[in-house]
Structures are given as structure tokens and as C-alpha cells.
């Protein structure tokens, strides 16, 4: 397994496993995340998994206090490298497959017609292609609970909007090139919005505030407006 360690600022170190959106690279990211979650270093303040890397944040004061002569970065580098040696033995957390109900198009998917047009397909075909694929959640970032999932089939890939929207409703499902994602909270954004889910992806009062985590698999299930409204009224997170 190849990895590279790079210093980021004065309180973080980035462990990189590659440079493409790739399942085997993601497996390494996943294993390291699982390891860090179960075996946090005492100097670690946070870790952030991404497509091809995990950035580990450290507290230089804790390290300077404990080891007066060694440089904090050297200690961190050494301990992370040692952990990475044993990564193969780690099995990543079991992946869940989560079904995401989506009401496609209309007022919930203002960019569905654009995506269809750009790819010379009908809206129905776009929906069929988007919903037949199982996507891997590569990372959660941008805003709380936002999943970066992939990969969108070639037939419906569409670049981001040139001008991002100022406000995208919570639950909106979008496409950006080969990524698909869901906006858990209302925020600005530049992805092509093709539908909306009634599920709550971010629940600040829950022990696990994010419905999805890196390594999960998701499938989108088309539902109609009535189901969408009923689901939202029920306010029950999908398990």
C-alpha cells in the first residue's frame, strides 16, 4: 500500500493514498478512519477523511509538553506511519446499503431537464439511470452530513452550474460530474439539482448526527409527491 505524509499548517498532517476517485484507494481511507475512530492518538484533535486522503489534526502543545526534545511533527509522523504498517489487518466498518427516497423533477429538481438535455436523454431516462446505480459514499464534508457519492454513470454526467444558487432546499439531490450528493441543510451550492429526499441527513440531536458515513452505499428510489409529503410529515429517519 502506498501512502504519503504531508504537513498541513502547524497542526495537521495529511495521509494520501492516491489521486483518483477509486474504490481501492477508498478502502485505505476507510481502514485508516476506522482505526483512528477506535484508537485515537492522545495528541489527535480531529480527523477528516476525503476521497484519497485522511487529514489528522494534532495539538502541538500536548506534544511539546510530553516530549521536550523531539519535534511534534516527527512524533506524529512516526506514530501514524507505524499505525499504517498494520492497516491491512484492519477490517473497515461493515458497509450499510441505504435506500434514499427521492421525488425527482418538477419543483424539487429544477435542473433535471437541463441534465436530460445536455446528455440527449429524456427526463425519465435520467431518473432511471440515476436510480438504478448503487453509489459508494466516499466522504462526508462541505456541510454537516453532506455525502460525496460516486460514481455517476457516464450517460448522465453533467458539470457543476457556472453560477451557484444562493439557496438550495434541505434534502436536494444533486449531480456534479461523476459525483452525486444530497444537501442535508439549506445552503448555497453549485450542483445540478434533480430531485429532493424527505429524509433528514443531519440530525444534531442524535448520537450519530450524520445519517450517512464514508463507506456506506446508497441507492435512490423514485417516489411521488404524495409519498414525499407523507414521509416528511412522519418525520421518521430511515433506518
Contact residues for other proteins, defined by CB under 8 A = 6-12, 14, 19-21, 33, 37, 45-53, 55, 57, 60-61, 64, 71-73, 139-146, 148, 185, 187, 202, 204-205, 209-210, 213-214
- What is the Cα 51 distance to its own chain's centre? 8
Task: Name the residue nearer to other proteins (CB basis): 6 or 122.
Answer: 6
Least CB distance to other proteins at residue 133 (A): 20
What's the rounded Cα separation, in Å, for the pair 56 and 36? 9
Nearest to other proteins of 104, 148 (CB atom): 148
Q: Give least dist CB 225 to other proteins, A.
A: 26
- What residues contact residue 191 under an 8 Å CB cut-off, 6+ apart? 160, 161, 168, 174, 175, 176, 179, 181, 183
Task: Report the residue number, 20 or 91, with the smaller CB distance to other proteins.
Answer: 20
Helix/strand/coil (H/E/C) assignment for every residue in 64-101: HHHCCCCCHHHHHHHHHHHHHHCHHHCCCCCCCEEEEE
Q: Residue 47 or residue 220: which is nearer to other proteins going by CB?
A: 47
Look-up of cell digits 416528511: 232
Between residues 121 and 185, which has the closer beta carbon with respect to other proteins?
Answer: 185
Minimum separation from the CB atom of position 156 to other proteins (A)? 20
Give the whole-angstrom CA distance, residue 179 versus residue 2.
Answer: 25
* Residue closer to other proteins (CB basis): 29 or 103: 29
Count of CB atoms within 10 A of residue 131's CB?
A: 15
- Rounded CA gap, 83 and 13, in Å? 14
Residue 44 Cβ, how far from other proteins at the closest point, in Å?
Answer: 10
What minimum distance in Å lies between the beta carbon of 49 and other proteins?
6
Q: Using the minimum distance from each CB to other proteins, give the nearer residue, 15 or 116.
A: 15
Please enumerate in sequence order all residues whose Cβ is within 8 A of that of 24, keeping only pairs 6 or more positions apart, or say none: none
Contact partners, residue 60, CB within 8 Å, separation at least 6: 10, 11, 72
**What's the closest the beta carbon of residue 65 comes to other proteins, in angstroms?**
8
Q: Are 136 and 217 in contact (CB under 8 A)?
A: yes
User: Smallest distance from the beta carbon of 179 to other proteins, in angstroms?
Assistant: 9
Amino acid at each position: 500500500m502506498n501512502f504519503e505524509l504531508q504537513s498541513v499548517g502547524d497542526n495537521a498532517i495529511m495521509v494520501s493514498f492516491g489521486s483518483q476517485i477509486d474504490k481501492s484507494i477508498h478502502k485505505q481511507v476507510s481502514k485508516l478512519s476506522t482505526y483512528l475512530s477506535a484508537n485515537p492518538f492522545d495528541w489527535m484533535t480531529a480527523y477528516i477523511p476525503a476521497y484519497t486522503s485522511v487529514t489528522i489534526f494534532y495539538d502541538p502543545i500536548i506534544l511539546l509538553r510530553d516530549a521536550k526534545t523531539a519535534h511534534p511533527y516527527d512524533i506524529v509522523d512516526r506514530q501514524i506511519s507505524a499505525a499504517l504498517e498494520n492497516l491491512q489487518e484492519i477490517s473497515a466498518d461493515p458497509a450499510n446499503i441505504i435506500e434514499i427516497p427521492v421525488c425527482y423533477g418538477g419543483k424539487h429538481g429544477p435542473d433535471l431537464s437541463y441534465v436530460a438535455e445536455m446528455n440527449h436523454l429524456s427526463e425519465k431516462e435520467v431518473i432511471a439511470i440515476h436510480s438504478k446505480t448503487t453509489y459508494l459514499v466516499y466522504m462526508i464534508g462541505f456541510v454537516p452530513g453532506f455525502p460525496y457519492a460516486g460514481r455517476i454513470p457516464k450517460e448522465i454526467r453533467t458539470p457543476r452550474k457556472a453560477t451557484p444558487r444562493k439557496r438550495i432546499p434541505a434534502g436536494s439531490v444533486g449531480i456534479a460530474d461523476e459525483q452525486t450528493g444530497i444537501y442535508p441543510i439549506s445552503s448555497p451550492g453549485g450542483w445540478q439539482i434533480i430531485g429532493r429526499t424527505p429524509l433528514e441527513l443531519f440530525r444534531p440531536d442524535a448520537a450519530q448526527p450524520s445519517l450517512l458515513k464514508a463507506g456506506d452505499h446508497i441507492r435512490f428510489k423514485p417516489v411521488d409527491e404524495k409519498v414525499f409529503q407523507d414521509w416528511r410529515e412522519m418525520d421518521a429517519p430511515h433506518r
